[in-house]
């Protein structure tokens, strides 16, 4: 039995206009486009495609049209026991998500609530009455990523959130591999490992460091780019804890002489969290680092990543270009992969064949074909990229340009009509061009293929709960004024429980975008220096890392100290604070 979809007296366009989301002119334009398509495209699809409205706005108003409830989906809304009523392949194919079942009524989230055939099909497949809730495709895709697989460990089942007594472990000497394996399967060790993972996710850590010290096993979390000590336990338990983590990641527990890498999924609060495991033998024993990939803590929306409008607009123009290369540069941990994922998420559609080559795959995205590099069997970046070109791609993402062969293949793909996105390790945007030349790529090929270079850093965000205004030391204030960054008010975090008394909570991106125009293409072919290309970029209106950073200081998002650190001006700032002197010529080009 299917819940009836009621017709409402108002149309979608009228409701969007009444809510102030859409203008009459844009509605008429969209209706004309729908007419030209012969009715093959829905009005909502056209409105989203032309960026007149967002997916959320269209679905919410569509729910009003058909008198249906609209839901902003979160993992806590779904009952994990109900997900299995429909096969995962069916859920992914039809973009539906079963939420919960009450007295024989199954509530299902759908982005196309008017699809009566699909409703009837689900009712017959589950032998339940189906009730519809309207939800955006983006929310449904995010919920699909929470679905567990056969290698998922449910941490909630074996961790006591309110008790830390389980962390007090027996001090038993562990020397033999057999002993370590046996103890790794015992409850105290399992509870310790799960407590460490649970607490890391709860604290918002990006990495967990489990390392042997002289008299203890130390656990540290990397939160907002900084390491903090979490706990210390007897060093005797190092082998058992390491073995437990290896068992979870299907690694060889008998191998302690060589580094190993693996991956594991865990369930926390009803959602799936991916963990990347890396072990490395040291002089005191094996050190384990766990990278936490929590999709809930990362927004894959470009507007949520801290982009200013004068950086976001040219970047969005670049990712919608039919061909060319877009490079995102910066040091390790600067958020390059997240930016690329957000860019791909923005252009993902049924009309595009988007393929990625990654090492490793950090986040799984719908409508995108993702491939893992396997260097042990000879599947390198360059070989995978060459193979992908025979898969009829429209857009290709290469995790990183590491060598000349990968760079040449990427440029060849861009020159033959593909849009290529990748990352590079350089300090700023103009240096990316020099880096490609140093790798061995001819300058005329770079000039022809490169469209956009985005350099970025992550800085800590001022805690919104304890944010307070303060007086900057006068010499440093004068220095900022001479640099063109005069401000009336400066903010910092006073320190509270939410931010662990650091004054910072979360991170925000600082960006520098270089658009490659004809002048720059000529400069690249002429082998111009980095400073010359930077000068041309500045004349074309390029926003530097420093300028974008101090703009975020002015908005109260971060602090002067954070920007000084990422722009390498700490020595100048220290001198200004100490003596009041300024070396303007040193920083005039940044």
pLDDT at res. 20: 81
**Of 30, 37, 61, which is closest to residue 351 (Cα–Cα)?**
37
End-to-end alpha carbon distance in the chain: 66
Residue 532: per-residue pLDDT: 94
Q: Are 99 and 77 in contact (CB under 8 A)?
A: yes
Of the listed ranges 111-115, 171-175, 243-247, 492-496, the least confidently predicted one is 171-175
> Are 147 and 88 spatial neighbours (Cβ–Cβ below 8 Å)?
yes
Question: In the predicted model, what is the mean pLDDT of residues 229-233?
Answer: 88
Q: Where residue 31 falls among pLDDT bands split at 50, 70, 90?
A: confident
Across 364-392, average pLDDT: 86
Higher-pLDDT residue of 588, 32: 32
Collapsing DSSP states into helix, strand and coil, what is residue 476? helix
pLDDT(363) > 70: yes
Starting at the earlier edge strand, list the strands of the sheet with 395-398.
Answer: 368-372, 354-358, 395-398, 419-424, 324-329, 450-462, 504-515
Is a pLDDT exceeding 70 seen at residue 187? no
Residue 295 has pLDDT above 60, yes or no: yes
In percent, how much of the chain has pLDDT > 70? 85
What does the alpha-carbon distance between residue 435 and residue 168 come to, in Å, rounded to a whole number?
51
Span of 154-168, 249-263, 286-300, 383-397 with lowest mean pLDDT: 154-168
Per-residue confidence band for 84, with pLDDT thresholds at 50, 70 and 90: confident
* Residue 341 near residue 354, CB atoms below 8 Å: no
pLDDT score, position 526 = 94
What is the predicted pLDDT for the residue at 398?
92
| The token pair that represents 439 in the structure block | 């790798």
- pLDDT greater than 80 at residue 402: yes
Interatomic CA distance for residues 143 and 148, integer angstroms:
11
In this prediction, residue 179 carries a pLDDT of 54
Separation of alpha carbons 590 and 574, rounded Å: 18
> What is the per-residue pLDDT across 533-585, written as a single tens digit (0 to 9) for each?
999 999 999 989 999 999 999 899 999 889 988 886 544 444 444 444 333 33
Fold of 83-135: GMP Synthetase; Chain A, domain 3 (3.30.300)
> How far is residue 217's CA from residue 227's CA, in Å, rounded to a whole number?
16
pLDDT tier at 260 (50, 70, 90 boundaries)?
very high
pLDDT for the residue 83: 76
302-579 matches 188-294 in CATH topology: no
**Higher pLDDT among residues 4 and 416, named by residue:** 416
For residue 513, pLDDT over 80 is answered with yes
- Model confidence at 81: pLDDT above 70: yes
Show the tokens assigned to 34.
């729908």
Least confident of 24-38, 89-103, 250-264, 396-410: 24-38
* Rounded-to-integer distance, Cα 132 and Cα 136, Å: 13
CATH among 3.40.50.360, 3.30.450.90, 3.10.20.600, 3.30.450.40 for 188-294: 3.30.450.90
* Cβ–Cβ < 8 Å for 398, 374: no
Mean pLDDT (whole number) for 16-38: 80
- What is the per-residue pLDDT for 510? 95
Mean residue pLDDT across the chain: 82
321-346 tens-digit pLDDT: 999 999 999 998 888 989 999 999 89
The set of residues, in sequence order, having a beta carbon less than 8 Å from that of 346 and lying 6+ positions away, is: 301, 302, 316, 319
pLDDT score recorded for residue 92: 82
**pLDDT score of 161 more than 60:** no
pLDDT at 571: 42
Q: 271 Cβ partners below 8 Å, 6+ apart?
A: 75, 146, 295, 296
Sheet holding 129-134, edge to edge: 96-102, 105-110, 129-134
Q: Are 123 and 1 in contact (CB under 8 A)?
A: yes
Q: How confident is the model at residue 39 (pLDDT cuts 50, 70, 90)?
A: low
CATH class of 302-579: alpha beta
Predicted local distance difference test score (pLDDT) of residue 151: 55
297-308 burial code (b ≥16 CB/10 A, e <16)? ebebebeebbbb
Mean pLDDT (whole number) for 183-188: 60
Q: CA–CA separation, 568 vs 194, rounded Å?
A: 39
Decide which of 449 and 501 is more confident: 449
pLDDT band at 160 (very low <50, low <70, confident <90, very high): very low
CB 167 within 8 A of CB 231: yes
Which candidate, 326, 323, 327, places its Cα nearest to that of 414? 323
pLDDT tier for residue 523 given thresholds of 50, 70 and 90: very high
**Residue 40 burial class via C-beta count within 10 angstroms: exposed 0-12, middle 13-18, buried 19 and up:** exposed
Strand pairing class (216-223; 207-212): antiparallel
Q: Is 451 helix (H, G, I), strand (E, B) or coil?
A: strand
Global confidence as pTM: 0.66
Higher per-residue confidence, 360 vs 523: 523
> Has residue 407 got a pLDDT over 60?
yes
pLDDT of residue 154: 59
Domain coordinates in residue numbering, the chain: 12-66, 83-135, 188-294, 302-579
Q: Whose structure tokens read 């300028």?
A: 547
On the CB side of 494, how many CA atoms lie within 13 Å of its CA? 8
């Amino acid at each position: 039995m299917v819940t009836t979809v009621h017709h409402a007296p108002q149309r979608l366009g009228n409701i969007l206009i009444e809510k102030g989301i859409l203008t009459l002119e844009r509605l008429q334009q969209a209706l004309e486009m729908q007419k030209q398509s012969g009715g093959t495209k829905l009005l909502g699809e056209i409105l989203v495609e032309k960026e007149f409205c967002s997916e959320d706005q269209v679905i919410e108003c569509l729910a009003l049209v058909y008198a249906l409830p609209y839901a902003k989906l979160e993992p806590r809304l779904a009952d994990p026991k109900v997900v299995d009523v429909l096969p995962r392949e069916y859920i992914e194919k039809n973009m539906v998500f079963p939420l919960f079942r009450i007295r024989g009524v199954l509530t299902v989230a759908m982005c196309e609530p008017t699809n009566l055939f699909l409703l009837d099909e689900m009712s017959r497949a589950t032998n339940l009455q189906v009730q519809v809730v309207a939800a955006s495709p983006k929310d449904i895709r995010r919920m699909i990523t929470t679905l567990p697989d056969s290698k998922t460990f449910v941490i909630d089942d074996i961790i006591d959130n309110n008790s830390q007594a389980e962390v007090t472990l027996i001090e038993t000497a562990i020397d033999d591999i057999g002993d370590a394996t046996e103890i790794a399967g015992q409850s105290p060790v399992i509870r310790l490992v799960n407590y460490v993972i649970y607490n890391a996710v709860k604290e918002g850590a990006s990495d967990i460091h489990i390392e042997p010290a002289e008299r203890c096993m130390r656990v540290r979390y990397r939160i907002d780019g900084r390491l903090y000590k979490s706990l210390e336990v007897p060093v005797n338990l190092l082998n058992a804890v390491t073995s437990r983590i290896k068992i979870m990641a299907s690694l060889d527990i008998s191998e302690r002489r060589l580094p190993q890498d693996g991956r594991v999924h865990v369930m926390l609060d009803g959602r799936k969290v991916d963990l990347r495991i890396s072990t490395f033998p040291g002089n005191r024993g094996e050190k384990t680092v766990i990278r936490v990939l929590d999709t809930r803590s990362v927004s894959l929306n470009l507007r949520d990543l801290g982009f200013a409008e004068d950086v976001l607009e040219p970047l969005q123009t670049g990712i919608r270009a039919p061909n060319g290369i877009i490079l995102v540069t910066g040091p390790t941990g600067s958020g390059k992969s997240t930016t690329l994922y957000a860019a791909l998420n923005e252009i993902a559609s049924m009309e595009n064949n988007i393929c990625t080559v990654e090492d490793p795959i950090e986040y799984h995205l719908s409508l995108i074909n993702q491939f893992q590099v396997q260097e042990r069997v000879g599947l390198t970046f360059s070989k995978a990229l060459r193979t992908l070109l025979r898969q009829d791609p429209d857009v290709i993402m290469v995790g990183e340009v590491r060598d000349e062969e990968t760079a040449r293949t990427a440029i060849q793909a861009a020159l033959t009509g593909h849009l290529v996105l990748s990352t590079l390790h350089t300090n700023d945007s103009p240096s990316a061009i020099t880096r490609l030349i140093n790798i061995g790529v001819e300058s005329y090929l770079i000039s022809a293929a490169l469209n956009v270079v985005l350099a970025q850093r992550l800085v800590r965000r001022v805690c919104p709960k304890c944010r307070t205004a303060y007086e900057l030391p006068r010499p440093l204030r004068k220095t900022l004024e001479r640099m063109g960054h005069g401000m009336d008010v400066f903010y910092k975090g006073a320190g509270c429980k939410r931010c662990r008394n650091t004054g910072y909570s979360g991170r925000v991106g600082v960006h520098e975008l270089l658009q490659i125009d004809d002048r720059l293409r000529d400069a690249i072919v002429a082998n111009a220096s980095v400073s010359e290309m930077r000068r041309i970029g500045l004349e074309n209106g390029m926003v530097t890392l420093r300028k974008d950073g101090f703009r975020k200081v002015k908005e109260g998002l971060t602090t002067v100290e954070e920007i000084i650190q990422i722009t390498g001006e700490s020595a100048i700032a220290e001198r200004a604070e100490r003596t009041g002197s300024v070396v303007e010529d040193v920083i005039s080009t940044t």
